[in-house]
Amino acid sequence: MDLTELNRIATAMVVSGKGILAADESSGTIKKRFDAIGVESTEENRRDYREMLFRSKDAMSQYISGVILYDETIWQDARDGTPLIRLIEQSGAIPGIKVDEGTQALPMCPGELVTIGLDKLAERLKKYHERGARFAKWRAVIDIGSGIPSTTAISVNAHALARYAALCQAAQIVPIVEPEVLMDGDHDIDRCYEVTSRVLNKTFEELRVQRVALEGMVLKPNMAISGKKCAKQASVEEVAEKTIRLLKACVPAAVPGIAFLSGGQSDEEATAHLNAMHRLGALPWGLTFSYGRALQAAPQKAWSGKAENIAAGQRAFSHRARMNGLASKGEWQSSLEQKAA
C-alpha cells in the first residue's frame, strides 16, 4: 500500500471549492428519478444522461473533484466511443466506484438493515482499479425509530465498513466510508446527534481495529439534522453548529476530509447548511459535499430525456455545482440562487 498516494488522492477529493458528484444511483433508484421526469430508464438513456453531466465542462473542471459511478456506468462508452470514465479524467476529476451491493434485513433485528457485497470484493476492486477508479464508496444505513438503532446494527455495519475500507486500501483505492443515519423519521436534531455520535465512534473504532490508515480515506456522513417528520425543524445555524461540534468530537484530525451526503435535503438546504459550517471558523479537515439528488434534481428536470435540452441540463448542473462549490468555502449567499432563477 502506497499511503502517500492514497493521501494525495483523498486530499484532492476534498479540496476547497470542489466536491464529489454522486452519480452512482442503482438501476432501481435511477428508474424512480426518470419516472418522475417521464423518461424510460433504458441503458442508452442512462448513458446519455450521465454523459451530459460529465461533458459539462465548466461544472466538472471548476467545481467537481470526483465522480462516484455505478458498475454499469464505469464500463460504458459515450456516444462517440469515448469511455465515460475518460470524460471524467479529462475534466480533471477523479473517477470512483460504488462497490456495495445494497442492503438486506439484519437477522434478529426487526426493521434494521445490513449492507452486503464483501464477498469477492478484492477481485472486483482489482478490476475497477485497472479500469481507472481511484476511490470507492460503501454505504451503511442506520435508521432511527422506536427501539432502534440497536447496538447490533451499529456494530455489524461499522465492521463491514471497516472491512471494505481495508480491502480498498490494499487495492490502492481510497475508501469513502459512508455511515448514513437516515433523516426519514420524526426524531429531533438532538436524537440525530446522539445516534450519529454512536455510529461514528463505533466506525472509527472498527477502522482502527482493522488497521485502516485514516490518512488515506474520506468520510461521508450525514449532518446532525431534524427528521423529516419532526414538528420542530432545526435552523440552518443550529444544524451547522451541532454538526461541527459532533464531527470535532468524533472524527480524528488524521482524516483528510469529510464530504457530506445530502440525505434527502432540498438543493438549497444542503447548500445553506454546508455554507454555514464554513462560517464557524477553521476546521481540522477538508469539508465539502458529495451530493447526488441535491446536485442532479435540477439538471434531470431541465433535460427530461430530450437531446435539445442537453444545454439546459448542463446549465442547471453547472449552477448547482457552483453554488455548492461556493458553500464549501463559506462564500454562498441565497441571493445568488435568486439571480440564477
Q: For residue 109, what are the CA distances in angstroms to 54, 145, 155, 180? A: 41, 13, 12, 18
CB distance 158 to 112 below 8 Å = no
Give pTM, 2 decimals: 0.95
Query: Three-state SS for 217?
Result: coil
Question: 289-327 as b/e, with b when 16 or more CB fall inside 10 Å?
Answer: bbbbbbbbbbbbebbebeeebbebbbbbbbbbbbbbbbb
Please give the grid coordinates belonging to residue 75. 464500463
Q: Distance (Å, rounded) from C-alpha 132 to C-alpha 173?
A: 10
CA distance 71 to 202: 29
110 and 143 Cβ atoms separated by less than 8 Å: no
Closest CA to 63 of 307, 331, 334: 331
Distance CA 282, CA 284 (A): 7
| pLDDT per residue as tens, the chain (341 positions) | 999 999 999 999 999 999 999 999 999 999 999 999 999 999 999 999 999 999 999 999 999 999 999 999 999 999 999 999 999 999 999 999 999 999 999 999 999 999 999 999 999 999 999 999 999 999 999 999 999 999 999 999 999 999 999 999 999 999 999 999 999 999 999 999 999 999 999 999 999 999 999 999 999 999 999 999 999 999 999 999 999 999 999 999 999 999 999 988 888 999 999 999 999 999 999 999 999 988 999 999 999 999 999 999 999 999 999 999 999 999 999 888 876 54
Give whole-number Cα distances, 153 to 156, 202, 293, in Å: 5, 11, 26
For the chain, the straight-line distance linking the first and the last C-alpha, in angstroms and rounded, comes to 48
Residue 280, SS3 per DSSP: coil
Task: State how far the alpha carbon of 36 is from the alpha carbons of 10, 23, 162, 242, 263, in Å.
Answer: 35, 17, 36, 34, 18
The rounded distance, in Å, linking the Cα atoms of 83 and 69 is 13
Q: How far is CA 67 from CA 15, 24, 75, 194, in A?
A: 14, 8, 14, 31
Q: Is 249 exposed, middle or buried (0-12, 13-18, 19+ CB in 10 A)?
A: exposed
Query: What is the domain partition of the chain in residue ranges?
Result: 3-340
Of 296, 258, 297, 255, the closest CA to residue 274 belongs to 258
Instruction: Give the residue numbers annotated as catalytic, written as ranges.
Output: 178, 220
From the options 3.40.50.720, 3.20.20.70, 3.30.1330.30, 3.40.47.10, give the CATH code of 3-340. 3.20.20.70
Contact present, 274 and 260 (Cβ < 8 Å)? yes
Residue 130 is placed in which grid cell?
485497472
Name which of 280, 185, 206 is nearest 236 in CA terms.
280
Q: Judging by beta carbons within 10 Å of its beta carbon (0-12, 13-18, 19+), is residue 147 exposed, middle or buried?
A: exposed
